[in-house]
């Protein structure tokens, strides 16, 4: 009996026996009282073996009549034969032997009694009962604290104090009723269980005296009855648990609704008041800053976040959606949908909304239209992140989800680990996903939410081995088994699930193991439908309920969410101050380096430097309006002549100069000038104006570099902006047509009006011919090699080919000296004669070689004649004005030609100058502003054009300061919440 009581104590239902016991005479009832639960009554009336083991009557002798009579006879014989010791010893030995045999019978009977170890699994332990009661009390205290510490608008307190007091009193009464109901249910269940267990103990004598067949039959019936009672008690226990669960859910719903109303009332009428950020939002901002922080000085991002990892299609995204209580991610049938890390910040709020970090739009998650738009936006952002043929990207998509009752935490959903790489994927996708997953899990403070598909064989898992490598001790891993509803249907050995959830099947270790159901395979199901299906499954499942393989605390996404949130905040509180200290040391190092290298400069990051460069560029654009009209026209005429000089000499002047008469010369010139002005000249003029505008702006930029305040860090950016603006700049379409009319009218005029214009035209001819003559002389010298003098002075020698060209040149010069007005081509006879003369001198060349040398020799000869004629025409204006027909006037036709071209250049330059100053400069300024605006939004452009250690150091210093400030602000709020 003592052993049975001790076993009942171990079950947790019999607690702390009181010191007082009550016992009567032999055979009277003995009372043992147990605190808080019940009083056990054990009857020892039976005169048998049990009385010997009574806890209060061990010294009472046996009351068997036969044994008593034998003892009296022994005493009588003893009186008669007092001296006969042998008989007394025999009687004493017989009594002792009978007692020993009786003890052995009792031991056999006791071993045949049924084992009561099943009570250990039936009733919860005392620690669990105390924990459950403590959680209820803690919930009560937290709710009271939240009501007391809630910051409410004073106008709301005037009419809300009474309502809050009523709600607080109602909650206290409901909580006390729930605790009392739990205790009463526990007492009733314990009384029923003990009353069912004690009768077999009391009726032990029937088991000893019954026959073997009756004994087995009776044991079988009692075992069946006992099993039925156990099943009944399990069902009742489950009903009690469900009742408590519903009560808690009701309290939570009421609490959510109350908090929502208070938040709404507190925020109403406070548009001008600064809204205080929530703790999780502050923490999320710190993580956003760390996402693109360029690691330096060995300071890494070791702040906690929940990293969701798993095989592809294992249910990672579904678990995250259940925690967020919204279907926020796109769906796909067997294809990879998660192509980039998605950071989701969960926080509590009055409305269920979602918002991206870089967007102001709020998606109402209670509306299906907004949910659809949100999923499309997520899918679009993922596709944009995997440009240029990539399959996955490391670019983080950051979003916030707020709603009533959401657990505050930060989760990162990663692409699923794949076993096989398909042909549609980029090469190296499998390794890229593994590398990305390892990078996130390598954070020593990251909580790994390992998702395993329960519907597939455990041997096909890829993620468990990877998690075991990154966290071999399982100090920060939480294991989640999904799709257990399918597992229950497909598995032939349910014990495998128990092994998985107890950490005995996989080689990895974890802080906790959970089983969840995240849907029925229908992508159109809402979260409420999935949640209802999950609760129904776990309440009716034979695998998770009736057989008791898995505790109720290890199932449902709600329990998972609570466990992950608790682990997350525990890790945050333990590590955030260490991270803040690390960034404080980094900031000190960066500031020291800046003071040593750039002591007189401000710490400007790329954005600030870009804004400063923008102002300087726009100032230089404004300086375009300060350029005088004369400077514009001179620059335009110079650029125009550079563009058309070759055409004028090669296509106009040289062909027409070969004419025999003045009329033929002017006819050819007029035809060619009209063709030129109709087709090429206007377009070339616009190109000249475009280039002149660019060169003039570049001149202003170069001039600005000479100032003492110039910063060469902007040079590359300014050059890129100017080039991009010029590439985009398009001259007005009608400008070319206007120029065509002006240029045709100007070129048709052949009348030089005064001596000044004539002299100007002569000078223009001289300058132009001299420039061409210098170029021709240089080309000819390169062709024939250095002269004898140059060979002596520069210690150079001519090549054999150059020597041949020199011999041909000398021969051709003799030919031109003999015939000064020689035509531009050599006849066949002249070629033959020149070749024979060269052969006589030992130079053997072909006709093509002679023509190649003749081109340069005749060109120089013609230009020398033109220059000589220009000198003679300086005094020919009077004869030209009188219209005298003589050789002198005819020879000055080239002066008239160049005067017409000069006048055309002046008129064109003047028209282009007006267009630039009146319209194109403003349009160019507008295009520069557009380019600057585009560059201001392009971070890659800034990094490409603003480079150097000075920029990198300023960027890191600013980023570290921001991170440190946000960390300190978060730590302050975290300590205040504690």
296 lies in some domain: no
| pLDDT band at 3; cut points 50, 70, 90 | very low
Q: Give the per-residue pLDDT at 136.
A: 60
12 lies in some domain: no
Residues 669 and 548 in one domain: no
pTM above 0.85, yes or no: no
Question: Is the pLDDT confidence value at 49 over 60?
Answer: no
| pLDDT band at 792; cut points 50, 70, 90 | confident
859-885 core/surface letters (b: 16 or more CB in 10 A; e: else)? bbbbbeebbebbeebeebbeebeeeee
Tell me what the mean pLDDT of segment 649-653 comes to: 87
Question: Is the pLDDT confidence value at 308 over 90?
Answer: yes
Tell me what the mean pLDDT of segment 79-86 comes to: 55
Greatest mean pLDDT among 5-14, 107-116, 315-324: 315-324
Question: Is the pLDDT confidence value at 650 over 70?
Answer: yes
CATH at 446: 3.40.50.300
Tell me what the mean pLDDT of segment 791-798 comes to: 79
* 873/759 Cα distance (integer angstroms): 9
Higher pLDDT, 154 or 412: 412
Q: Using alpha carbons, list the distances in angstroms from residue 334 to 331, 337, 665, 698, 872.
A: 9, 9, 83, 58, 92
595 lies in some domain: no
Q: Give the per-residue pLDDT at 594.
A: 92
Q: Alpha-carbon torsion 417, 423, 425, 430, what sign?
A: positive
Question: Is the pLDDT confidence value at 449 over 90?
Answer: yes
Give the bridge partners for 309, in sequence order.
Answer: 450
Residues 504 and 633 in one domain: no
Residues 894 and 772 in one domain: yes
Residues 571 and 623 in one domain: no
Residue 229, judged by CB atoms within 10 A of its CB (0-12, 13-18, 19+), counts as middle
Q: Give the per-residue pLDDT at 265.
A: 57
Tell me what the mean pLDDT of segment 394-422 comes to: 87
When divided into structural domains, the chain yields a total of 2
Q: Give the per-residue pLDDT at 280.
A: 85
Lowest-pLDDT range of 157-171, 295-309, 499-513, 925-939: 157-171
* 14/125 Cα distance (integer angstroms): 10
DSSP code per residue over 275-298? PPPPHHHHHHHHHHHHHT----TT
543 lies in some domain: yes
* 857/809 Cα distance (integer angstroms): 7
Higher pLDDT, 779 or 89: 779
39 lies in some domain: no
Tell me what the mean pLDDT of segment 794-808 comes to: 86
Lowest-pLDDT range of 405-419, 447-461, 544-558: 544-558
61 lies in some domain: no
Q: Quick check: helix, strand or coil at residue 643?
A: helix
Q: Give the per-residue pLDDT at 773.
A: 92
Higher pLDDT, 610 or 300: 610
Residues 527 and 651 in one domain: no
Question: Is the pLDDT confidence value at 263 over 50?
Answer: yes
Question: Is the pLDDT confidence value at 88 over 70?
Answer: no
Residue that is last in its domain, among 566, 581, 596:
581
Q: Give the per-residue pLDDT at 907.
A: 93
| pLDDT band at 901; cut points 50, 70, 90 | very high
212 lies in some domain: no
Residues 545 and 631 in one domain: no
| pLDDT band at 284; cut points 50, 70, 90 | confident
| Structural contact between residues 33 and 17, judged by C-beta atoms closer than 8 angstroms | yes
Mean pLDDT of the chain: 76
* 427/416 Cα distance (integer angstroms): 16
pLDDT (tens digit per residue) in 456-465: 776 677 888 8
Lowest-pLDDT range of 172-186, 259-273, 348-362: 259-273
Residues 677 and 537 in one domain: no
Tell me what the mean pLDDT of segment 533-545 comes to: 78
Question: Is the pLDDT confidence value at 55 over 90?
Answer: no
| Structural contact between residues 704 and 620, judged by C-beta atoms closer than 8 angstroms | yes
Tell me what the mean pLDDT of segment 20-45 comes to: 39
Question: Is the pLDDT confidence value at 171 over 60?
Answer: no
Residue 252 Rama label (left phi>0; alpha psi -120 to 50; beta): alpha
Q: What angle do CA 646, 695, 731 make, to 5 degrees?
A: 80
pLDDT (tens digit per residue) in 698-754: 888 888 888 887 888 888 998 899 888 888 877 777 888 888 899 999 988 888 888
* 16/439 Cα distance (integer angstroms): 54
| Helix/strand/coil percentages in the chain, nearest 5 | 65, 5, 25
Where are the alpha helices (H) located in 417-556, listed in sequence order?
Answer: 429-441, 463-470, 484-490, 495-501, 527-540
Phi/psi at 34 (nearest 5 deg)? Answer: -120, 130
Residues 750 and 629 in one domain: yes
149 lies in some domain: no
Query: How many other β-carbons are positioned within 10 Å of the β-carbon of residue 62?
Result: 16
Residues 742 and 636 in one domain: yes
Residues 314 and 371 in one domain: yes
Tell me what the mean pLDDT of segment 17-23 comes to: 38
Query: Residue 343: which domain range?
Result: 301-420+427-581
CA dihedral 278, 281, 285, 291 (to 10 degrees): 150
Chain Cα centroid distance, residue 377: 15
Q: Give the per-residue pLDDT at 135.
A: 65
pLDDT (tens digit per residue) in 831-861: 889 889 888 888 888 889 999 999 999 999 9
| Structural contact between residues 447 and 564, judged by C-beta atoms closer than 8 angstroms | yes
Q: Give the per-residue pLDDT at 203.
A: 40
Query: How many other β-carbons are positioned within 10 Å of the β-carbon of residue 446?
Result: 23
Q: What angle do CA 550, 552, 557 make, to 5 degrees?
A: 105
Tell me what the mean pLDDT of segment 911-940 comes to: 88
Q: Quick check: helix, strand or coil at residue 753?
A: coil
The β-bridge relationship of strands 38-42 and 353-356 is unpaired
Residues 746 and 686 in one domain: yes
* 83/81 Cα distance (integer angstroms): 5
Tell me what the mean pLDDT of segment 260-269 comes to: 55
Question: Is the pLDDT confidence value at 514 over 80?
Answer: yes
pLDDT (tens digit per residue) in 563-580: 999 999 999 888 888 888
Residue that is last in its domain, among 552, 581, 610:
581
Residues 568 and 625 in one domain: no
Lowest-pLDDT range of 427-436, 504-513, 584-593: 504-513
Q: Give the per-residue pLDDT at 400.
A: 92
Q: Give the per-residue pLDDT at 10.
A: 43
Question: Is the pLDDT confidence value at 913 over 60?
Answer: yes
Q: Give the per-residue pLDDT at 93.
A: 60
Q: Give the per-residue pLDDT at 600.
A: 85
């Amino acid at each position: 009996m003592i052993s049975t009581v001790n076993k009942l104590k171990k079950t947790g239902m019999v607690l702390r026996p009181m010191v007082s016991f009550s016992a009567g005479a032999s055979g009277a009832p003995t009372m043992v009282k147990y605190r808080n639960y019940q009083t056990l009554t054990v009857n020892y009336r039976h005169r048998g073996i049990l009385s010997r083991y009574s806890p209060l009557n061990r010294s009472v002798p046996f009351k068997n009549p036969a044994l008593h009579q034998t003892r009296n006879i022994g005493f009588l014989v003893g009186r008669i034969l007092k001296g006969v010791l042998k008989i007394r010893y025999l009687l004493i030995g017989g009594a002792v032997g009978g007692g020993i045999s009786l003890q052995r019978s009792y031991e056999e009977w006791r071993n045949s009694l049924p084992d009561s170890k099943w009570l250990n699994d039936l009733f919860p332990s005392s620690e669990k009962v105390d924990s459950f009661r403590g959680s209820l009390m803690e919930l009560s205290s937290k709710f009271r604290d939240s009501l007391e510490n809630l910051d409410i608008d004073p106008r709301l307190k005037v009419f809300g104090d009474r309502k809050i007091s009523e709600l607080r009193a109602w909650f206290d009464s409901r909580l006390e009723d729930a605790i009392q109901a739990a205790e009463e249910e526990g007492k009733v269940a314990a009384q029923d269980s003990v009353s069912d267990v004690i009768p077999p103990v009391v009726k032990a004598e029937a088991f000893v005296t019954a026959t073997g067949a009756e004994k087995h039959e009776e044991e079988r019936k009692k075992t069946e009855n006992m099993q039925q009672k156990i099943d009944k008690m399990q069902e009742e226990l489950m009903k009690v648990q469900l009742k408590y669960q519903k009560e808690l859910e009701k309290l939570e719903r009421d609490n959510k609704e109350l908090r929502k109303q208070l938040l709404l009332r507190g925020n109403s009428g406070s548009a001008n008041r600064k809204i205080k950020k929530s703790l999780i939002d502050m923490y999320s901002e710190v993580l956003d800053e760390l996402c693109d922080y360029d690691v330096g000085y060995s300071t890494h991002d070791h702040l906690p976040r929940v990293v969701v990892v798993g095989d592809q299609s294992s249910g990672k995204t579904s678990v995250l959606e259940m925690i967020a209580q919204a279907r926020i991610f796109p769906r796909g049938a067997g294809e990879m949908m998660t192509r980039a890390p998605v950071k989701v910040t969960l926080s509590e709020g009055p409305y269920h909304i979602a918002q991206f970090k870089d967007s102001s739009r709020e998606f109402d998650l209670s509306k299906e239209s907004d949910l659809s738009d949100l999923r499309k936006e997520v899918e679009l952002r993922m596709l944009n992140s995997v440009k240029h043929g990539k399959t996955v990207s490391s670019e983080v998509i950051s979003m916030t989800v707020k709603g009533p009752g959401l657990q505050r935490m930060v989760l990162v959903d990663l692409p699923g680990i794949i076993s096989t790489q398909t042909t549609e994927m980029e090469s190296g996708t499998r390794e890229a996903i593994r590398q990305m997953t390892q990078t996130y899990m390598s954070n020593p403070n990251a909580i790994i939410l390992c998702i395993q598909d329960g519907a597939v064989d455990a041997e096909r898992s890829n993620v468990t081995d990877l998690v075991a490598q990154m966290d071999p001790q399982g100090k920060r891993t939480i294991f989640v088994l999904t799709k257990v509803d399918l597992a229950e249907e497909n598995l032939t050995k349910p014990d495998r699930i128990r092994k998985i959830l107890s950490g005995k099947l996989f080689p990895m270790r974890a802080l906790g193991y959970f089983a969840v159901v995240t849907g029925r395979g229908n992508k159109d199901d809402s979260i409420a439908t999935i949640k209802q299906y999950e609760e129904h499954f776990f309440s009716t499942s034979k695998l998770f309920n009736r057989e008791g393989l898995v505790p109720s605390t290890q199932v449902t996404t709600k329990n998972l969410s609570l466990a992950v949130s608790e682990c997350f905040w525990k890790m945050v509180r333990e590590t955030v101050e260490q991270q803040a200290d690390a960034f404080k040391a980094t900031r000190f190092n960066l500031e020291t380096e800046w003071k040593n290298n750039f002591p007189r400069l401000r710490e400007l990051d790329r954005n600030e430097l870009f804004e400063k460069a923008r102002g300087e560029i726009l100032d230089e654009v404004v300086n375009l309006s300060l350029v005088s009209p004369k400077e514009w026209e001179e620059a335009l005429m110079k650029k125009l002549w550079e563009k058309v000089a070759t055409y004028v000499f090669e296509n106009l002047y040289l062909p027409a100069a070969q004419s025999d008469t003045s009329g033929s010369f002017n006819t050819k010139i007029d035809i060619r000038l009209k063709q030129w002005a109709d087709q090429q000249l206007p377009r070339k003029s616009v190109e000249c104006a475009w280039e002149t505008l660019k060169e003039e702006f570049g001149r202003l930029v170069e001039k600005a570099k000479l100032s003492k305040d110039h910063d060469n860090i902007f040079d590359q950016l300014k050059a890129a902006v100017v080039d991009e603006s010029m590439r985009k700049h398009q001259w007005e379409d009608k400008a070319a047509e206007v120029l065509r009319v002006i240029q045709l009218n100007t070129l048709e005029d052949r009348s030089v009006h005064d001596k000044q214009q004539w002299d100007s035209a002569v000078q223009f001819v001289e300058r132009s011919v001299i420039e061409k003559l210098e170029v021709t002389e240089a080309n000819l010298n390169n062709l024939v090699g250095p002269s004898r003098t140059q060979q002596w002075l520069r210690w150079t020698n001519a090549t054999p080919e150059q020597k041949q060209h020199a011999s041909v040149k000398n021969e051709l010069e003799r030919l031109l000296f003999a015939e000064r007005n020689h035509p531009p081509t050599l006849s066949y006879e002249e070629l033959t004669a020149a070749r024979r003369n060269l052969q006589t001198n030992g130079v053997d060349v072909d006709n093509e070689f002679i023509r190649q040398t003749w081109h340069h020799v005749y060109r120089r000869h013609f230009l020398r004649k033109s220059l000589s004629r220009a000198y003679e025409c300086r005094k020919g204006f009077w004869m030209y004005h009188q219209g005298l027909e003589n050789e002198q006037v005819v020879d000055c036709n080239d002066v008239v030609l160049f005067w017409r071209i000069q006048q055309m250049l002046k008129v064109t330059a003047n028209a282009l100058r007006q267009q630039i100053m009146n319209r194109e400069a403003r349009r160019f300024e507008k295009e520069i502003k557009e380019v600057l605006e585009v560059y201001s939004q392009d971070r890659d452009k800034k990094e490409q054009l603003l480079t150097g250690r000075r920029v990198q150091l300023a960027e890191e210093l600013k980023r570290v300061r921001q991170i440190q400030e946000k960390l300190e602000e978060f730590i302050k709020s975290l300590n205040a919440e504690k």
